[in-house]
Structure 1
Amino acid sequence: MATQEQALELVDRLTSELINRRTEIDRNNDYYQGKQKLKFASTEFAKFHGDRYRDFSDNWVQVVADSPVERMTVTGFQASGEESADTDLWEVWQVNGLDADSQMGFLGSINSARSFLLVWGNPDDPDMPVVTFEDASQCIVAYEPGSRRNRRAALKTWQDGNAEFATLYLRTEVWKFARPLSQQTKTPQMADVDEAMSLWLPPGERRRRRSWEPRELNDEPNPQPNPMGVVPMVELPNKPMLVEEPISDVSGVTAMQDAINLLWAQLFTASDYASFPQRVILGAERPVIPKLNSAGEIVGTQQVDLDKFQVDRVAWITGKDARIAEWQAANLSMYTEVMEIAVGHLAAQTRTPQHYLIGKMANLAEGALLAAETGLVKRVQEKHLWSGQGLREGARLIALAKGQDAKAKALRSGRVLWADAESRSHAQMADALLKLRDIGFPFQWLALRYGLTSTEVADVMALKEKEMEMDPMGAVTQMMAQRPPAGGEEEEPADEDQDEVAVA
């Protein structure tokens, strides 16, 4: 068991690493929300037009991040050795609202390179643990040296009112700390700088300044024991690497997003100044008109207001050398053509179908549409694999929180059930399922393949049993009609040959 001094030291170190991560996390979240500053512009252009396009962005980052999330739907969990999905786990999943919150967790992982799943027992209902998805800006997991899976500590921090809170999860105990928030007028970036520089101080002085104090609660001790025996927080990485940190899908898109925003800014500027033919008068003085006094007498001349020409579209030009020249309008299509190329590069790099980005749909056959989405489907399936490991461990933590050690052991080698990542029409899906049934796949497996959750499959199976009880002969007839011939398509000629031999 760790001492309070050791726990505080660990909180300081984990908080320091969390601060280092927040810079990229905040930047990616800003890009996802369309808060994108104008970059790659020349000094002169940025000086005169930077403020004009301050609030504009042609936000492709959001499309790239959202496209895989809409195909990441968990439908159940199945323990090793079981023939069907676990209904108890699915009940915990739904009661905690994770069918919706999981979408936010997957999106957070795509944007911030990781998200987290936290499992803890519920004192009010021991059979219903509390399960939440956590943001990468608030949580961090420490692993054993040389391991990417064996967790030895986890930290969650958050702010509420004028205080900051931290919960440190260890294998055997849980520590809770709090500290007041100082200098509320500082920006989050400057607050992070202060936090980072405080780590340069000696541990004793640092602790005195930061004043983390144990958070005492009336109904629980601090520290409190961890009955699960493992760190109850799991990391869901996006594009994990063997040595380096996981990679966000957004990080590789920001540069091209900046280039597209600049092209739009230049196009708008050209459209404002040079999209119409510009005419200029050469060889003539600026037109003047007589200036009259109150008696109507000419007392001088005054220059014509040129703005009046723009309204009246009439000008009287005198002088033997006067002539009119014209400057051609700027070719704005060159900007749009470059932007289309940039969007195509972005689609190729992120494996996002171009019809998601460009918004144009031709008369494509279903096969061609599926081929166009192959890259996205493979990208989603990769994320199923990466997130599935963390979700499977989360399912094991749920079993441990409920005291079901045998189920927890079986879930270590279990699997997460996902809805099909391919987008198919109902006709295509029905045809594929019929062919799978014809070669012997069971109905329950087909129902899961169709995309039903484990609870819905159980309901369908119960309804089928009720139909058989109400009309057993009709059910048998239907089953016989659906059963494929034993010899396949060649069965009928074989029967004719047998009949001929019998007659002979």
Structure 2
Amino acid sequence: MATEAQALQLVGLLENELIRRRGPIDRHNDYYRGKHPLKFASQEFAKFHGARYRDFSDNWVQVVADSPVERLTVTGFVADGETSADDDLWKVWQVNGLDADSQLGFLGAVTGARCFVLVWGDPSDPDMPVVTFEDASQCVIAYEPGSRRLRRAALKRWQDGNMDFATLYLKDEVWKFSRPLAQQDKSPQMADVDEELKRWTPREMRDEPNPQPNPMGVVPMVELPNKPMLVEDPISDVAGVVAMQDAINLVWAQLFTASDAASFPQRVIMGAERPMIPKLNSAGEIIGKQVVDLDKFQVDRVAWITGKDARIAEWSAANLTMYTGIIEVAVGHLAAQTRTPQHYLIGKMANLGEGALLAAETGLVKRCDEKTLWYGQGLREMARLIALAKGEDAKAQALRSGRVLWAETESRSHAQLADALLKLKQLGFPFEWLALRYGLTPTEVAAVLTMRERELEADPVTELTRNLTGGGAPAPATGGEGPVEDADEEPEPEA
């Protein structure tokens, strides 16, 4: 049991770590949303054109971040020693809306280098724990010295209205604190008051004690790291994209500026005097001369040229394809560095076969497989926490060495997938395994198996014949003539 002073000290340490991480997280989130400051521009260019392109961005960060997330779909959880997915766990997953929220969590991990999952029991429904994905800007976990998995404490800090809130999760108890939100514009007279406001105080709880016991016996928050390292922080997928994104935005700004000023041949009048017109008073008398507004000549498309030595020269138009060529090379670098298929970025597809598209997506598929490995470890621990929250210690132990079921990360046509599954069936793979490979969730597989049983009861002869021939269509009737093909024979390969 920790004292209040010890809990506050731990909150302060974890809050400092959270503040240290916050800068890159906010920066990468801004880039994902298209908020890109103009970088790498000269002082002169930024002075005259910076305000014009303040809100412009050619946002490739979002494409790079979204490309793996759209292929990461959890379909179930299997405990050690079981052959089918756990229906109770999947019910908890669905009731908590995690089929959608998990996508938000994975996106947060891709951009912010990590995300978190929090599990806690619901007193009003002991069989349905509350499970939420948490953002890396609000949560931090402290691990035991020398370990990357044994959790010592976790902190969640957030703002609501004019208050800061913090919840400290320990193995045996949970502390809740709050403090008024510090004012941004403060006078010197408020300095002492602000120092007092910075201090966390225990939150007043009406229906529960503070601190309250943690019946799970473990820290109920799990980290899902993105590209973890042995000793350093995990890496965001967009961290290496930011610099090239800034370069692309600058080249676009220069292209727009050139297209505005130099995309057409420019003509200049040389050796001529500045056109002047008489300046009259109210009586119509000439009292002087005034310069002609040259902008009016542009609108009227009329030139007034004076002087015997006047001549017209021409500057050729700027070559704008030079800029687009640089942008294409930069986008190609992004594709290679992030293993994002070029047809995701360039948008040019010319008579590419399915095999060529699959080869182009190999890097992205491997990138997704890496994420299922690292995210899967955290999700497996999340499943164990759900079992602990429900008081199912035996299941929790089995889930420690269980596995997470994912949808196929490789994108294939239905014809290719059906052909591959048919060949696997001929090798002896069971229908339930094939249905999971097809992309059905365990709940959908159970429903399909029930439908198959009903079809078998309604027409057992046709259904058995179809299964024996290993295809979707029934075998042709022999009519009692000719030899009957043995059901155990290997079917003839298709031409």
TM-score of the superposition, structure 2-length normalised? Answer: 0.91
Alignment of 1:400-415 (within 5 A): 400-415=388-403
Alignment of 1:227-306 (within 5 A): 227-289=215-277, 302-306=290-294
* Distance in 2 between residues matched to 1:216 and 1:463, nearest whole Å: 55
Q: Which residue of 1 aligns with 2:316?
A: 328
- Offset, 1:290: 5.5
Task: Classify 1:296/1:11 alpha carbon distance in 2 versus 1 (closer, same or farther; 3 Å).
Answer: closer
Determine if the alignment matches structure 1 residue 313 to structure 2 residue 301. yes
Residue deviations 1:404-456 (CA, integer Å, cap 9, x gap) = 11111111111110000011111111111111111111100111111111111
Alignment of 1:387-398 (within 5 A): 387-398=375-386
Q: Which residue of 2 aligns with 1:116?
A: 116
- Offset, 1:398: 0.6
Structure 1: any 5+ residue segments left out of the alignment? 187-193, 199-204, 492-504
Residue deviations 1:30-65 (CA, integer Å, cap 9, x gap) = 111111110111111111111111111111111110
Corresponding letter in the other structure for 1:88? D
Q: Which residue of 1 aligns with 2:326?
A: 338
Corresponding letter in the other structure for 2:33? Q
* Distance in 1 between residues matched to 2:267 and 2:369, nearest whole Å: 59
Corresponding letter in the other structure for 1:183? Q
Q: Which residue of 1 aligns with 2:20?
A: 20
Other structure's SS at 2:106 match: helix
Task: Classify 1:180/1:289 alpha carbon distance in 2 versus 1 (closer, same or farther; 3 Å).
Answer: closer
Other structure's SS at 1:488 match: coil
Other structure's SS at 1:416 match: strand
* Distance in 1 between residues matched to 2:99 and 2:185, nearest whole Å: 38
Q: Which residue of 1 aligns with 2:409?
A: 421
Task: Classify 1:79/1:145 alpha carbon distance in 2 versus 1 (closer, same or farther; 3 Å).
Answer: same
Q: Which residue of 2 aligns with 1:443?
A: 431
Higher mean C-alpha displacement, 209-218 vs 106-115: 209-218
* Distance in 2 between residues matched to 1:185 and 1:19, nearest whole Å: 20
Q: Which residue of 1 aligns with 2:359?
A: 371
- Offset, 1:184: 4.8
* Distance in 2 between residues matched to 1:46 and 1:320, nearest whole Å: 42
Note if contact 2:65-2:110 (Cα within 8 Å) is conserved in structure 1: yes
* Distance in 2 between residues matched to 1:320 and 1:16, nearest whole Å: 77
Structure 2: any 5+ residue segments left out of the alignment? 472-485
Q: Which residue of 2 aligns with 1:138?
A: 138
Corresponding letter in the other structure for 2:335? A
Corresponding letter in the other structure for 2:459? D
Q: Which residue of 2 aligns with 1:166?
A: 166
Higher mean C-alpha displacement, 283-292 vs 238-247: 283-292
Q: Which residue of 1 aligns with 2:56?
A: 56
Task: Classify 1:146/1:323 alpha carbon distance in 2 versus 1 (closer, same or farther; 3 Å).
Answer: same
Task: Classify 1:295/1:134 alpha carbon distance in 2 versus 1 (closer, same or farther; 3 Å).
Answer: closer
Q: Which residue of 1 aligns with 2:66?
A: 66
* Distance in 2 between residues matched to 1:44 and 1:376, nearest whole Å: 41
Determine if the alignment matches structure 1 residue 47 to structure 2 residue 47. yes
Residue deviations 1:166-193 (CA, integer Å, cap 9, x gap) = 111111111111111121558xxxxxxx
* Distance in 1 between residues matched to 2:163 and 2:197, nearest whole Å: 15
Note if contact 2:469-2:491 (Cα within 8 Å) is conserved in structure 1: no
Residue deviations 1:249-302 (CA, integer Å, cap 9, x gap) = 111110001101111111111111111111111222223455677887877655
Higher mean C-alpha displacement, 91-100 vs 307-316: 307-316
* Distance in 1 between residues matched to 2:140 and 2:261, nearest whole Å: 51
Determine if the alignment matches structure 1 residue 221 to structure 2 residue 223. no
Corresponding letter in the other structure for 1:287? P
Task: Classify 1:316/1:8 alpha carbon distance in 2 versus 1 (closer, same or farther; 3 Å).
Answer: closer
Give the aligned CA root-mean-square deviation in angstroms: 2.2
Note if contact 2:116-2:224 (Cα within 8 Å) is conserved in structure 1: yes
* Distance in 2 between residues matched to 1:247 and 1:207, nearest whole Å: 35
Residue deviations 1:367-401 (CA, integer Å, cap 9, x gap) = 11111111111101100111000000000111111
* Distance in 2 between residues matched to 1:288 and 1:234, nearest whole Å: 78
Task: Classify 1:282/1:221 alpha carbon distance in 2 versus 1 (closer, same or farther; 3 Å).
Answer: same
Q: Which residue of 2 aligns with 1:94?
A: 94
Task: Classify 1:70/1:450 alpha carbon distance in 2 versus 1 (closer, same or farther; 3 Å).
Answer: same
Residue deviations 1:65-98 (CA, integer Å, cap 9, x gap) = 0110000000001111111111111000000000
Higher mean C-alpha displacement, 363-372 vs 214-223: 214-223
- Offset, 1:470: 2.1
Corresponding letter in the other structure for 2:160? D
* Distance in 1 between residues matched to 2:285 and 2:445, nearest whole Å: 99
* Distance in 2 between residues matched to 1:345 and 1:480, nearest whole Å: 52
Residue deviations 1:130-187 (CA, integer Å, cap 9, x gap) = 000000011001101010000011111111122111111111111111111121558x
Corresponding letter in the other structure for 1:161? G
* Distance in 2 between residues matched to 1:344 and 1:338, nearest whole Å: 10
Task: Classify 1:235/1:321 alpha carbon distance in 2 versus 1 (closer, same or farther; 3 Å).
Answer: same
Q: Which residue of 1 aligns with 2:490?
A: 488
Task: Classify 1:145/1:286 alpha carbon distance in 2 versus 1 (closer, same or farther; 3 Å).
Answer: same
Q: Which residue of 2 aligns with 1:500?
A: none
Q: Which residue of 2 aligns with 1:156?
A: 156
Note if contact 2:76-2:85 (Cα within 8 Å) is conserved in structure 1: yes
Task: Classify 1:430/1:291 alpha carbon distance in 2 versus 1 (closer, same or farther; 3 Å).
Answer: same
Task: Classify 1:317/1:113 alpha carbon distance in 2 versus 1 (closer, same or farther; 3 Å).
Answer: same
Corresponding letter in the other structure for 1:176? K
Task: Classify 1:215/1:316 alpha carbon distance in 2 versus 1 (closer, same or farther; 3 Å).
Answer: closer
Identical positions, percent: 77
Note if contact 2:432-2:445 (Cα within 8 Å) is conserved in structure 1: yes
